[in-house]
Structure 1
């Protein structure tokens, strides 16, 4: 298994961990932000980290991997390559996560959900619903960074390359807002 020290080294080298005043997708504020998309600029690191995660699912008879657009597309693709299985992605259509582009999941397939980062688990749960709506089984969840520090549970095997807790505050309780001088910045990909 990839050591925590090696993971931190990679995240620092790729400037994934940002420090400042951030507005999270949840609407909360934080002093830190994990921009996992920056990690995926480096195929060698993606292969190393996702390869390590894939080993944890090698003996689980995974038939397919799915990830949510946009953050999970590359993660799911690399995971599927490591496991030697088919890959698809889910995306939002009129605000609902769905399969598009004539993608389908065979009934009864064992499907692994792959994502770059989990904070509240919302996108992962939406993708799990898509899998189940297709009559398939969610065989597990694999993420690069678990920002819930192990607090999120999905009712299936859940593996992360790194589990951390990035402290988040309601806007009214944010110490950075109370200090003044900085406005929360939203570096993520989804609009609130």
Structure 2
């Protein structure tokens, strides 16, 4: 799937938004990719997951025994990636502010894990999820996401495979350009801003 085809999926789902958005990192952006909308259609979610799975090198795929994603945003794409790769999918969540496997999810020691997110903006959630997977006994062999908003500069400590990289500027709340400052800010994601 080409970048244009991926963006066409987001546009078709009305998931490529423009305005003034507060990202979960606390940064501000004039564009937002609402992955929940693009993933609400099962056939579209399956297409995107299969396209992402196809980008994972064979030597990494051979090591994946499970997919783990962070709740909330990663749950659907994590499930679809598990299905595309033919391995169990589970998720970590923050009942006490830190990610943990719950709901009876468990990893056998040394299980090779693909950590999957919907969007990576700063890498903070991804690194937190990776630490929690390793604390639960898994070995994270790679990370993947539908969208990389980092400009390609994030280091997650493992190979990172995004379906698409989107270079959209982000700004600190006290350093907004005038055109963005003139628009009311909206927090569209599931996590409170940092």
- Give the structure-2-normalised TM-score: 0.92
Match of 1:188 in 2: 189
Please provide the CA RMSD for this pair.
1.6
- Give the structure-1-normalised TM-score: 0.93
Inter-partner Cα distance in structure 1 for 2:167 and 2:50: 23
Match of 1:159 in 2: 161
- C-alpha deviation, 1:31, in angstroms: 1.0
Secondary structure in 2 matching 1:172 = coil
Q: Is the 8 A contact 1:147 1:165 kept in 2?
A: yes
Q: Is the 8 A contact 1:171 1:177 kept in 2?
A: no
Inter-partner Cα distance in structure 2 for 1:52 and 1:80: 13
Match of 1:16 in 2: 15
Q: Is the 8 A contact 1:118 1:148 kept in 2?
A: yes
Match of 1:33 in 2: 32
Unaligned runs of 5+ in 1: none
- C-alpha deviation, 1:158, in angstroms: 1.1
Q: 1:177 to 1:139 in 2, by over 3 A?
A: same
Q: Is the 8 A contact 2:67 2:116 kept in 1?
A: yes
Q: Is the 8 A contact 2:147 2:164 kept in 1?
A: yes
Secondary structure in 2 matching 1:169 = coil
Inter-partner Cα distance in structure 2 for 1:135 and 1:168: 35
Inter-partner Cα distance in structure 2 for 1:39 and 1:178: 25
Aligned length: 190
Unaligned runs of 5+ in 2: none
